[in-house]
């Protein structure tokens, strides 16, 4: 493992933060970020760091303090304020207690903060208080866990890291672990690190660099030891990789399989309008994972708990496994997936029943659905409530499989804590409280594909749906407008924006667009058909080729999207929504606007027919009919760029005057915006009413355009 400490960077952190926070916290922040950005040490907020110092109390005295990472903070991005100050002497006095439940621990720590506004300190705060050294670093290093998670793990740790490392057997994280650490403090004072079996490694030092250097040195020694052991053992026997299981072929399989799996991982609800609580998938498809899943003994290795109990809340105790998938027979493969998930559900229910007496009061069991599905010949499909949660499950799965493969390469078997320990951690109330406290916006877990996203109305709809929690696949013709929108919205909504170049007139492009979204997030739940073209011409002068271009985009494009939506949503099996951005011209066409009005009317009729054909699958098809949306922010409407000059000449108006004219002609004298259209689309996607085949006018009130 590379030591990435840089004295220049350390000085830069002191220069940036030292005046406000002090040099110790500045260096604590620097070293924490070095650890947090190394995925083989910690993942997604894991690990813990601290520094002992002083803080000013109510008497304006400098009192001993422990600055510890606050719960929920990520070491990769932590700021100095992410290490909160706790009364060190009080925390050390907790060693006199025989036990302290999590709730009592949180209360004790919060009541002894130096600032009541600070975040809640980590549950491992007492551990750091009891350990020697001013600076303390705790990680879940893969290589160290690969040493402890095998038979005779303590012997391997000592052989790899030396006798001056204290090794503790597995202890449930929290106060009991703190007690064991306090008991071992004398030995720790003569050592330089501590390994917690099935949990990780802790180093300390008088300076931030000393503790960090020890961490990198010891983890590197663990890596080197595993490499030596692997060379001495018989190499991991791997099945021959044929061209049919290349990464490229696996990706092709994923586009079909992901919606199927995603539909089956949706949790049923009691709401007839929204009968499923969907998940978002993040697949793991690469050569390393394919190798592991196709190796001899892969099933037994993979169907074992994660490396550390800290990961159970994200991955569950075990993944689901699809044995020898029949990639050449879709019907048989579907049956195999159903059987694998049924086996998982039965096993998980039995697991819950075995530990029913241990289930804490008020903690609701997880649905018997896996967070990870393993398919040899494809990889891992990982699920979460949103893309961020699914990413965490995916990264943990990648780490787990790689570390288990290292153990297998040494010829050893994999060992995890007992099932009772695993259950207690999976159903730890404070972990469930974190999940329950998350805000659940109306479109959470929903994946929406929109066409014409780079235009004024498209970008407005996308922003409105993102604000309600949706994951947005932005599609449009490839180029700078789509790239810029994807980058801008992706910065505001990380993990929930995907840019997909797509030509609505090309059947292959439409199918590939859906496949791209399925390979990224597992599938699509709603489609907003928004791409369209306009043309101004009286009928007697109409250019037929131009008319046919509008036909291809406005009508054929709608047909292709309705067709692909039906195929995709029926395969996924959890219903869905399609919303066509229609126009008031369907009901009240305008002179010189025949090509647009006719082709959009055809599209509108196709959507109405789709509402009849797809209702039995709980796929709702509705329309919104806006009028006079000129722009969204700096994005001008393509329709009005085409129509505007003619309308201004006809009425003797400039651009501002034309917008004012259209505002004044509606009953409410309202300026219609893309945000209004976005809210109308959101009304349908949130399923506030049991409605299909309907049209919402978004026009301020135009009597001639009222749908009949």
**Where are the CATH 3.40.225.10 domain residues in the chain?**
7-232
Whole-number pLDDT of residue 439: 64
> What is the mean predicted confidence (pLDDT) over 435-452?
86
- Per-residue confidence at 234, pLDDT binned at 50, 70, 90? low
In tens, the pLDDT along 487-500 reads: 999 999 999 999 99
> Among positive and negative, which fits the CA dihedral 387, 122, 201, 26?
positive
Give the chain's mean pLDDT: 92
DSSP-assigned letters across all residues of 46-91:
--EEEEEEEEE-TTS-EEEEEEEEBTT--TTT--GGGEEEEEHHHH
- Rounded CA-CA distance 537/540 in Å is 8
- Per-residue confidence at 239, pLDDT binned at 50, 70, 90? very low
Looking at domain 447-701, what is its CATH homologous superfamily?
NAD(P)-binding Rossmann-like Domain (3.40.50.720)
> What is the mean predicted confidence (pLDDT) over 636-655?
74
**What would the two tokens of residue 364 be?**
């609701």
Q: Which region among 115-129, 229-243, 501-515, 592-606 has the lowest average model confidence (pLDDT)? A: 229-243
pLDDT at 562 over 90: yes
Q: Which residue has the higher pLDDT, 663 or 484?
A: 484
Whole-number pLDDT of residue 342: 97
Residues 6+ apart with CB under 8 A from 28: 49, 50, 51, 67, 80, 83, 135, 208
pLDDT at 242 over 80: no
In tens, the pLDDT along 258-276 reads: 999 999 999 988 888 888 9
Q: Determine what percent of the chain is predicted with pLDDT higher than 70.
A: 97
- Per-residue confidence at 310, pLDDT binned at 50, 70, 90? confident
- Rounded CA-CA distance 163/614 in Å is 69
Other Cβ atoms closer than 10 A to 479: 10
In tens, the pLDDT along 595-639 reads: 999 999 999 999 999 999 999 999 999 999 998 887 787 777 767
> Angle 498-499-503 (CA atoms, 0-180°, nearest 5)?
135
**Where are the CATH 3.40.50.720 domain residues in the chain?**
447-701
Fold of 7-232: L-fuculose-1-phosphate Aldolase (3.40.225)
Whole-number pLDDT of residue 436: 65
Whole-number pLDDT of residue 708: 58
- Rounded CA-CA distance 340/407 in Å is 26
Residue 531: HSE in the Cβ half-sphere, 13 Å Cα cutoff: 31
Q: Which region among 29-38, 373-382, 638-647, 679-688 has the lowest average model confidence (pLDDT)? A: 638-647
C-alpha separations of 368 from 334, 341, 365, 373 in Å: 19, 9, 9, 13
> CB burial class (10 A; 0-12, 13-18, 19+) of residue 708?
exposed
pLDDT at 131 over 70: yes
> What is the mean predicted confidence (pLDDT) over 562-566?
98
pLDDT at 238 over 50: no
Of 332, 323, 260, 248, the closest CA to residue 285 belongs to 248
Q: Note the CATH architecture for domain 243-436.
A: 3-Layer(aba) Sandwich (3.40)
Q: Determine what percent of the chain is predicted with pLDDT higher than 90.
A: 81
Whole-number pLDDT of residue 313: 87
Q: Which residue has the higher pLDDT, 47 or 631?
A: 47
In tens, the pLDDT along 138-196 reads: 999 999 999 999 999 999 999 999 989 999 999 999 899 999 998 887 777 778 899 99
DSSP-assigned letters across all residues of 623-653:
EEEE----EETTEEPHHHHHHHHHHHHHHT-
- Per-residue confidence at 240, pLDDT binned at 50, 70, 90? very low
> Among positive and negative, which fits the CA dihedral 642, 643, 648, 650?
positive
> What is the mean predicted confidence (pLDDT) over 423-446?
83
pLDDT at 62 over 90: yes
Q: Which region among 13-27, 137-151, 244-258, 328-342 has the lowest average model confidence (pLDDT)? A: 244-258
């Amino acid at each position: 493992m590379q030591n990435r400490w840089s004295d220049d960077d350390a000085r830069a952190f002191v220069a940036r933060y030292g005046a406000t926070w002090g040099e110790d916290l500045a260096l604590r922040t620097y070293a924490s970020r070095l650890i947090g950005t190394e995925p083989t040490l910690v993942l997604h907020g894991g690990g813990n760091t601290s520094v002992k110092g002083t803080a000013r109390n109510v008497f304006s005295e400098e009192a001993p303090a422990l600055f510890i990472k606050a719960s929920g903070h990520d070491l990769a991005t932590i700021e100095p304020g992410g290490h909160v100050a706790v009364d060190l002497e009080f925390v050390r006095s907790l060693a006199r207690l025989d036990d302290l439940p999590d709730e009592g621990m949180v209360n004790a720590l919060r009541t002894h903060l130096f600032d009541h506004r600070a975040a809640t300190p980590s549950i491992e705060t007492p551990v750091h208080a009891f350990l020697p050294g001013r600076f303390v670093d705790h990680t879940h290093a893969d290589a160290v866990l690969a040493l402890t998670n095998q038979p005779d793990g303590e012997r391997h740790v000592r052989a790899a890291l030396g006798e001056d490392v204290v090794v503790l057997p597995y202890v449930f994280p929290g106060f009991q672990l703190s007690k064991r650490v306090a008991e071992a403090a004398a030995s720790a004072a003569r050592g330089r690190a501590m390994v917690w079996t099935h949990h990780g490694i802790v180093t300390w030092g008088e300076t931030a660099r000393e503790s960090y250097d020890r961490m990198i040195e010891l983890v590197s020694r663990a890596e080197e030891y595993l490499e030596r052991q692997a060379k001495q053992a018989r190499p991991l026997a791997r099945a021959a990789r044929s061209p049919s299981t290349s990464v490229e072929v696996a990706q092709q399989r994923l586009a079909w399989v992901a919606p199927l799996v995603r539909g089956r991982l949706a949790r049923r609800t009691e709401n007839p309008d929204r009968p499923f609580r969907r998940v978002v998938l993040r697949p793991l498809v690469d050569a390393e994972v394919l190798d592991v899943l196709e190796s001899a003994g892969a099933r037994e290795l993979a169907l074992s708990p994660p490396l550390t109990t800290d990961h159970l809340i994200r991955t569950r105790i075990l993944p689901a496994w699809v044995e020898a998938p029949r990639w050449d027979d879709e019907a048989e493969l579907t049956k195999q997936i159903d059987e694998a998930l049924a086996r998982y559900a039965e096993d998980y229910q039995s697991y819950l029943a075995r530990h029913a007496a241990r289930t804490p009061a008020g903690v609701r069991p997880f649905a018997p659905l896996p967070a990870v599905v393993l398919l040899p010949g494809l990889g891992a499909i990982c699920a979460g409530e949103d893309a961020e949660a699914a990413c965490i499950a995916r990264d943990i799965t990648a780490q787990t499989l790689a570390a288990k493969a290292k153990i297998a390469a040494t010829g050893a078997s994999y060992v995890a804590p007992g099932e009772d320990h695993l259950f207690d951690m999976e159903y730890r109330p404070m972990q469930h409280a974190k999940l329950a406290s998350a805000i659940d916006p109306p479109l959470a877990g929903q994946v929406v594909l929109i066409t014409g996203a780079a235009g004024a109305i498209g970008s407005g709809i996308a922003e409105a749906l993102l604000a309600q929690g949706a994951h947005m696949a932005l599609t449009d013709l490839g180029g700078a407008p789509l790239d810029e929108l994807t980058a801008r919205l992706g910065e505001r909504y990380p993990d929930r924006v995907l840019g997909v170049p797509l030509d609505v007139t090309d059947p292959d492009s439409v199918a590939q667009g859906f496949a791209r979204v399925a390979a990224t997030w597992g599938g699509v739940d709603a489609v907003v058909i928004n791409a369209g073209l306009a043309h101004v011409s009286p009928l007697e002068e109409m250019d037929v080729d131009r008319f046919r271009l509008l036909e291809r985009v406005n009508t054929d494009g709608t047909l292709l999207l309705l067709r692909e939506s039906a195929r995709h949503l029926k395969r996924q099996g959890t219903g869905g929504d399609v919303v066509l951005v229609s126009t008031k011209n369907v009901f009240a066409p305008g002179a010189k606007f025949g090509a647009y009005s006719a082709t959009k009317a055809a599209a509108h009729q196709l959507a109405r027919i789709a509402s009849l054909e797809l209702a039995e699958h709980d796929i709702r098809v509705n329309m919104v009919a806006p009028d006079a949306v000129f722009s969204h922010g700096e994005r001008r409407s393509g329709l009005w760029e085409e129509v505007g000059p003619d309308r201004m000449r006809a009425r003797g108006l400039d651009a501002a005057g034309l917008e004012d004219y259209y505002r004044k002609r509606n009953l409410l004298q309202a300026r219609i915006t893309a945000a209004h259209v976005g809210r109308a689309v959101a009304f349908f996607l949130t399923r506030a009413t049991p409605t299909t085949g309907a049209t919402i006018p978004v026009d301020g009130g135009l009597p001639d355009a009222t749908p009949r």
